[in-house]
Amino acid sequence: MKIAINGFGRIGRAFFRNFYENKIKDLEIVQINDICDFDKLIYLLKEDSIYGKFKCEFKYQNNELIIDDKIIKLSSYQNPKEFSTNADIVLECSGKFDDKKSLQPYIDNGVNFVILGATPKDDMNIYIYSVNESKYSGEKIISNASCTSNAIAPIINTINKKYKILSGNISIIHPFNNDQNLLDSAHKDDIRLSRNATINIIPTKSSIGSVLKKIFNINFYGDSIRVPTSIVAFSNIDLVFDKEISKDEILNLEFDHKIIGIDSDMLVSSDFIGDKRSAIIASDLININGNTARIGIWFDNESGYANRLLDMLEVVQRCHKSH
């Protein structure tokens, strides 16, 4: 299955890095689209301030990347209506097109599938690996939700299968994002995000509550606190159960250890840079009070999410082959 990436920012490049560093064989990246100067984007691919040098050899010439003897076309289409590609599937990572209406032109132009690498702004179906990916049935346009949803939903899913959750609150301590400002400057949406990202702790909104409500039909509230770090997020997951629960009951659950880890070494954020798992539960940060529990987790908000995009691409591919 041939893949085109639209948007070669932090998530687009993280996906690309992990695709080649994981040596994925059954999928092929054939196109990268971005409206920015590719001389600068390729420089950022080669030299990443967080993850270091890109580990794979490639050539960049004549508006093409050549890697593993295969050519990747570089294009600068402004929107899905203009987009021309021979790819089977578009990975939408631009942050600009986040509903079915804006993504439909990809399908109209001959693409078979679109995966949105973000939380949708409409009722688009959301699939999260190790939660509900088995329910995917070939829809043309789907969302893989956000990095936070991919970190938290698999944990909620495993717990809720055995112990009934009545409600929950999610608080995310999140590194600053590209939509923030290095110095005070007006932000297009959120007045607090207008402030200097390098010296402020900034409360803001999160979609996590609505995503968890949609998937589990349980009432959740969620918010995000942006902090002056570049990578790796932390979250407190507060859960209310229908009966008392113990720390051991949570730790003894059968989490999907491909994507959910357990930390017993008192690690901190920098220890998880580049971690490919969706989340890592800090065992010492599980606290119980009767029928309520607080569970602390870490997750690399770029690397972990990029690997779940890879997993969902393989889910779509398997479904496509089976039909």
Q: Which CATH architecture has domain 2-124?
A: 3-Layer(aba) Sandwich (3.40)
pLDDT for 320 equals 87
For the domain spanning 147-301, the CATH number is 3.30.360.10
Q: What is the mean pLDDT of residues 120-127?
A: 97
Q: Which candidate in 36, 56, 93, 147 is catalytic?
A: 147
Q: pLDDT tens across 248-277, in order?
A: 999 999 999 999 999 999 999 999 999 999
Q: pLDDT tens across 47-67, in order?
A: 999 999 999 999 999 999 999
CB-based burial, 239-272: b 16+ in 10 Å, e otherwise: bbbeeebeeeebeeeebeeebbbebeeeeebeeb
CA distance 314 to 131: 15
CA distance 39 to 60: 9
Q: pLDDT tens across 141-161, in order?
A: 999 999 999 999 999 999 999
Average pLDDT, the chain: 96
Global pTM reads 0.96
Question: Residue 82 pLDDT > 90, yes or no?
Answer: yes
Lookup: tokens for 55 = 């580990």
Question: Residue 292 pLDDT > 80, yes or no?
Answer: yes
Domain boundaries, the chain: 2-124, 147-301
Q: Give the ranges where the chain is alpha helix by DSSP (H).
A: 10-21, 38-46, 100-108, 147-162, 208-216, 247-251, 303-322
36 among known catalytic residues: no
CA distance 193 to 186: 8
Q: Which helix (H) or strand (E) holds 202?
A: strand 202-205
CA distance 215 to 126: 8
Confidence of residue 288 (pLDDT cuts 50, 70, 90): very high
Confidence of residue 222 (pLDDT cuts 50, 70, 90): very high
Handedness of CA 151, 158, 213, 320 (dihedral sign): positive
